[in-house]
């Protein structure tokens, strides 16, 4: 992609868009908005492919963070929508056509689920809020009416445990 | 102080992993890691796995066929990826800074040549570069000329001294500057470079007298980070300091995070 090769882009698109779209749907709770955010994410990634640093992130990780960022930007700009956790349930998951990929994905998701389940409930809650709602430590402290220092501690402890539990090399 | 600094960077580390740092914070954090912090580097080692783990915790989603077509069309319209960031265009603000800085450095060069000869080569290079920029400037408004005249009057005064700001541990890379101060008239001119901040932060100027910091106000913002401030009454300080504050400046009357310090007469 950095060389301007659109065939390379297509390969990356086919491999990672479902993951990027899943994150966007979790944030925006709308198929249409999520697709708009993912479209913006791919354009952003294409234009800034020269900035990708393989020392700091995998391609998948880099793309996921771009999609997350675009989704959060879109969410914040949608002032006409109110995102209440119980109000608009996330769309039902949809599935692709590659059974092998599906199987690998299912196994990975099970591994991730076990890792997340191993976290203290509070640690998990603040980490997911920080990641999917884009809230700062102080904003999380306000939302959950919890001291700021406690939130920071929960996040540190949760990330450390999550990092220890998750595989380092199985991501595609 | 070390414990507080360590905690500050650990919070930046978690913020970085979860993608919640602004551009300035991210830059500072990565500079901190690249300077060699094993603790933060160890945290970063799991960053990719954590991010992808959270992503995989969401149900997968099949994109519509139209999305791929839209993406490919948009990419084709965008052209080849950018290789380097474009240089920012020069503005009048930068030109005014260049003008003031040339004046300060023109006198400062003389002062440094007398007081600190070992800095002469560096300042001469600065002066040459700034003189070139000054030659490229447009006509200035009457107000700007009046300000320049006041600054010239200040810099020509033999009582004035030129003092360089020393970056503190929390200072962003590249932030620096000088203060020209006349204790007889109590007037000062502050010139900073690379003083860019996100919208939710401001730099604030302080004078330090008898160990007590007194605010001289929030510094003006400049898109290129070239800040010049003329202070009519800077008191009789032992030092000047610049701190990074939340937008609007300090609410408690004391600096939040000191990033620059210039000792007067030192």
Tell whether the model's pLDDT for residue A18 goes beyond 90.
yes
CB B228 within 8 A of CB B189: yes
- Asked if B14 and A155 come within 8 Å (Cβ–Cβ), the reply is yes
Angle at A51 (CA atoms; ends A47, A56), nearest 5 degrees: 140
Chain A: nearest CA to B218, how far in angstroms?
Answer: 24
Closest by CA position to B179, among listed B99, B234, B137, B254: B234
Tell whether the model's pLDDT for residue B93 goes beyond 70.
no
Chain A: nearest CA to B181, how far in angstroms?
Answer: 40
Among B71-85, B86-100, B222-236, B238-252, name the one with the lowest average pLDDT.
B86-100
pLDDT the model gives residue B42: 85
Average pLDDT of the residues in A48-71: 90
| pLDDT mean across residues, chain A | 83
Does B146 lie at the interface with A, CB-CB under 8 angstroms? no
Residue A89: C-alpha distances to residues A29, A93, A109, B227 (Å): 7, 11, 20, 49
The pTM assigned to this predicted structure is 0.55
- Asked if B67 and A90 come within 8 Å (Cβ–Cβ), the reply is no
Residue A126: C-alpha distances to residues A145, B59, B231 (Å): 12, 20, 46
Q: Mutating which of B41, B60, B65, B246 best tests the A interface, going by the most A Cβ atoms within 10 A?
A: B60
> Phi and psi for B110 in degrees, rounded to 5?
-65, -45
| Per-residue confidence band for B8, with pLDDT thresholds at 50, 70 and 90 | low
Residue B252: C-alpha distances to residues A51, B219, B246, B247, B260 (Å): 40, 17, 11, 13, 19
Cα A72 off chain centre by:
10
DSSP state of A145: T
With beta carbons under 8 A apart, name residues in chain B contacting A94: 60-62
Does B72 lie at the interface with A, CB-CB under 8 angstroms? yes
Gap between the Cα atoms of B68 and B80, Å rounded: 18
pLDDT the model gives residue A172: 47
Average pLDDT of the residues in B105-109: 54
| Per-residue confidence band for B232, with pLDDT thresholds at 50, 70 and 90 | confident
- Asked if A34 and B71 come within 8 Å (Cβ–Cβ), the reply is no
Gap between the Cα atoms of B116 and B122, Å rounded: 11
Residue A82: C-alpha distances to residues A28, B58, B99 (Å): 11, 21, 51
Tell whether the model's pLDDT for residue B156 goes beyond 60.
yes
Q: Which residues pair with B179 in a beta bridge?
A: B163, B190
What is the β-pairing status of strands B187-193 and B176-182?
antiparallel
Gap between the Cα atoms of A122 and A29, Å rounded: 23
Share of chain B above pLDDT 70, in %: 68
pLDDT the model gives residue B261: 94
User: Residue B242 burial by CB count (10 A; 0-12/13-18/19+): exposed, middle or buried?
Assistant: buried
pLDDT the model gives residue B139: 45
CB B162 within 8 A of CB B107: yes
With beta carbons under 8 A apart, name residues in chain B contacting A164: 46
Is the ipTM reported for this complex over the cut 0.90?
no
With beta carbons under 8 A apart, name residues in chain A contacting B27: none
Q: What part of A 70-89 touches B (C-beta under 8 Å)?
A: none
Does B118 lie at the interface with A, CB-CB under 8 angstroms? no
pLDDT tens string B211-228: 889 888 888 878 778 888
| Per-residue confidence band for B251, with pLDDT thresholds at 50, 70 and 90 | confident
pLDDT the model gives residue A94: 47
- Asked if B55 and A23 come within 8 Å (Cβ–Cβ), the reply is yes
What is the β-pairing status of strands B161-164 and B187-193?
unpaired
Partner residue opposite A18 with nearest CB, options B19, B57, B62: B62
pLDDT tens string B11-20: 899 999 999 9
pLDDT tens string B29-79: 888 888 888 888 888 888 999 999 999 998 888 999 899 999 999 888 877
Partner residue opposite B75 with nearest CB, options A9, A20, A60: A9
Does A8 lie at the interface with B, CB-CB under 8 angstroms? no
pLDDT the model gives residue B84: 41
Does A156 lie at the interface with B, CB-CB under 8 angstroms? yes
Tell whether the model's pLDDT for residue A50 goes beyond 70.
yes
């Amino acid at each position: 992609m950095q060389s301007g090769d659109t065939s390379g882009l297509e390969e990356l698109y086919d491999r990672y868009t479902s993951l990027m779209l899943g994150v966007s749907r979790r944030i925006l709770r709308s198929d249409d908005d999520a697709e708009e955010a993912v479209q913006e994410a791919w354009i952003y990634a294409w234009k800034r492919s020269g900035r990708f640093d393989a020392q700091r992130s995998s391609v998948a990780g880099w793309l996921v963070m771009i999609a997350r960022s675009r989704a959060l930007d879109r969410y914040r700009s949608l002032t006409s929508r109110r995102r209440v956790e119980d109000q608009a349930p996330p769309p039902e998951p949809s599935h692709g056509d590659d059974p092998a990929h599906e199987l690998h994905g299912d196994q990975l998701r099970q591994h991730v689920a076990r890792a997340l389940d191993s976290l203290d409930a509070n640690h998990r809650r603040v980490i997911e809020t920080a990641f999917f709602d884009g809230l700062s430590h102080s904003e999380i402290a306000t939302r959950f009416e919890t001291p700021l220092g406690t939130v920071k501690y929960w996040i540190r402890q949760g990330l450390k445990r999550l990092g220890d539990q998750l595989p380092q090399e199985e991501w595609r | 102080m070390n414990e507080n600094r360590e905690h500050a960077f650990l919070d930046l580390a978690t913020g970085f992993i979860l993608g919640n740092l602004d551009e300035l914070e991210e830059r500072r954090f990565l500079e901190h890691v690249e300077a060699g912090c094993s603790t933060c580097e160890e945290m970063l080692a799991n960053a990719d796995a954590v991010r992808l783990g959270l992503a995989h915790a969401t149900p997968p989603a099949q994109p519509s066929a139209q999305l791929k077509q839209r993406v490919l069309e948009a990419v084709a319209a965008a052209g080849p990826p950018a290789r380097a960031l474009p240089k920012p265009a020069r503005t009048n603000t930068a030109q005014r800074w260049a003008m003031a800085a040339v004046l300060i450095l023109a006198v400062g060069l003389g002062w440094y040549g007398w007081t600190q000869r070992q800095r002469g080569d560096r300042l001469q290079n600065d002066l040459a570069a700034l003189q070139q920029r000054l030659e490229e400037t447009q006509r200035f408004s009457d107000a700007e000329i009046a300000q320049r005249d006041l600054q010239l009057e200040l810099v020509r005064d033999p009582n004035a001294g030129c003092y360089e700001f020393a970056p503190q541990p929390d200072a962003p890379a590249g932030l620096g500057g000088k203060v020209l101060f006349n204790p007889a008239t109590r007037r000062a001119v502050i010139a900073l470079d690379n003083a860019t901040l996100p919208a939710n932060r401001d730099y604030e100027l302080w004078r330090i007298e008898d160990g007590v910091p007194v605010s001289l106000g929030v510094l003006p913002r400049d898109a290129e980070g070239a800040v010049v401030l003329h202070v009519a009454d800077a008191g009789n300080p032992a030092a000047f300091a610049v701190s990074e504050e939340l937008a609007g400046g300090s609410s408690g009357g004391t600096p939040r995070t000191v990033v620059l310090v210039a000792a007067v007469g030192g």
